[in-house]
Amino acid sequence: METQLKRINKFLSEAGYCSRRAADKLIEEGAVTINGKVPEMGTKVGPADEVRVNGKLITEPKSDFVYLAFNKPRGIVCTTDTRREKDNIIDFINYPERIFPVGRLDKYSEGLILLTNDGDIVNKILRARNNHEKEYIVHLNKPIKGDFIEKMGNGVPILDTVTKKCFVEQIGKSSFRIILTQGLNRQIRRMCEYFDYKVAGLKRIRIMNVKLDVEKGKWRELSPNELNDIQSLVSQSDKTHDN
């Protein structure tokens, strides 16, 4: 039946294989097959179709998802590419099921990152327009002077745009707390560099309602209350129209 069909990228996402964005990339690379044939982007699949990625059979979408809060150490890379990156987050955690990180935290940063096999919630969280907060503690290479804090909070021109206004609070001679609602590439580091400061240490301590409360290198499952709050926070996300 038509109602049972869904786009291949959503199928892979709901099966816990990867996010929709990553699925689209796999489809473009020809790594995905449906009944032995490489599909076009947007192809729909049903319960009787055999879906494989790099030859591996992908089962029906899961009903039980995994949601982890991980305290990433400095030096670990947020990638699922375990073949090319030896210090990858997947091998470090060594979780028994396939999971992937929600967004990124660069190699030289540490702190909270979420991992899951629920591709749909990943897509909703990553939409910058949803204004989901991420909080960081930042240590600089020299003391804070002048109106640096005010300027950081009012928007900084980087990457051919101007960052959104945000909350910034000085908490030490050369350290501050910042809450972002967008995730530009190396955003905090670039913002600081614009004012001739370098980041000596960066730790993410909160994502939305989830706080960093585990030791470095350790992870825990999200509590039912945390997950319910996240679902509520992302419930206003733009709905996709594919089945």
> Which member of 106, 196, 213, 242 is catalytic?
106
What are the φ and ψ backbone dihedral angles of 84, each rounded to 5 degrees? Answer: -95, -25
Strands (E), the chain: 6-7, 32-34, 44-45, 51-53, 56-58, 67-72, 100-101, 110-116, 134-140, 157-158, 161-162, 167-172, 175-180, 199-207, 210-211, 219-221
Which residue in the block uniquely carries the two structure tokens 């908490």? 171
Active site residue 64: no
3-39: string of b/e by CB count within 10 Å (b at 16+)?
Answer: eeebbbbbbbbbbbbbbbebbbebbeeeebbbeeeeb
| Contact in structure between 234 and 121 (CB atoms under 8 Å) | yes
Q: Using the 8-state DSSP alphabet, how is residue 222 labeled?
A: P
Would you please indicate which residues are annotated as catalytic (active-site) residues?
106
